[in-house]
Amino acid sequence: METENKKGTTTVGIVCKEGVVAAAEHRATMGTMIAHKVAKKLYKIDEHLVMTTAGLVGDAQILARYLKAEVELYSLEREEKIPVGGAATLMANILNKTKFAPYYVQLIVAGVDASGPHVYSLDAAGGAIEDIYTSTGSGSQFVFGVLEDNYKEGMSVDEGVDLAIRAISAAMKRDSASGNGIDVVVITKKGYKELSSEEIEERRKKLGL
């Protein structure tokens, strides 16, 4: 399928004092061609969980459906929300069991549970590593440069949103496979919130981006 060949991405996940921030840009590419300008790369898994995707769109969509279904089953069976680390491990196991036909993806699983905010980076082989921030995709090197210079432990969610927007904007300026706008999601103990395009654009202007 054509959609399975679309790739080229920048995503980011950041741990903040009150929650997590996840962001991604909109562009999907096929080689040097911009195949899609409104690609979805942030997937709501539950009220306390988000997954970002980089890599083949077809693989990413299937994995998002798998994880959402498994998280819902966990909640029904145990009558409680799955911990963020549990969701990351579950996805890592799905990825690891398909070594002979791997999913060509890089994922971030982020969210808030009883122990606080968490961000996990997952590779195509099923490796899962927790960190205070991470980035995936073709523009991640530019994101890491911004994060290394500007991230502060214990920063507020509001500061984290601005940092995520600044980081993704830096990638869009230098990575040809990233662009066409930004999506941002915030998760706190109050739940899941996706920022409007108007709020994101207003923040970009205030930041001088």
pLDDT band of 28, cuts 50, 70, 90: confident
* pLDDT in the model for residue 4: 44
pLDDT in tens, 127-172: 999 999 999 998 999 999 999 999 999 999 999 999 999 999 999 9
9 classed as catalytic: yes
* Closest to 15 measured CA to CA, from 183, 108, 154: 154
CB 8, CB 137: distance < 8 Å:
yes
* Closest to 137 measured CA to CA, from 67, 65, 197, 52: 52
Coil, strand or helix at 26? coil
* pLDDT in the model for residue 57: 87
Q: Range with the lowest mean pLDDT among 55-59, 99-103, 109-113, 198-202? A: 99-103
Tell me the pTM.
0.91
What percent of the chain has pLDDT above 90? 76
| Range(s) of the domain holding residue 179 | 2-206
Average pLDDT estimate for 58-79 = 95
The H or E element spanning position 58 is helix 57-78
* Closest to 91 measured CA to CA, from 153, 148, 49: 49
The CATH number of the domain where 154 resides is what? 3.60.20.10
* Closest to 101 measured CA to CA, from 129, 68, 62: 62
- Tell me how many domains the chain contains: 1
* pLDDT in the model for residue 7: 52
Question: Residue 102: is its pLDDT beyond 90?
Answer: no
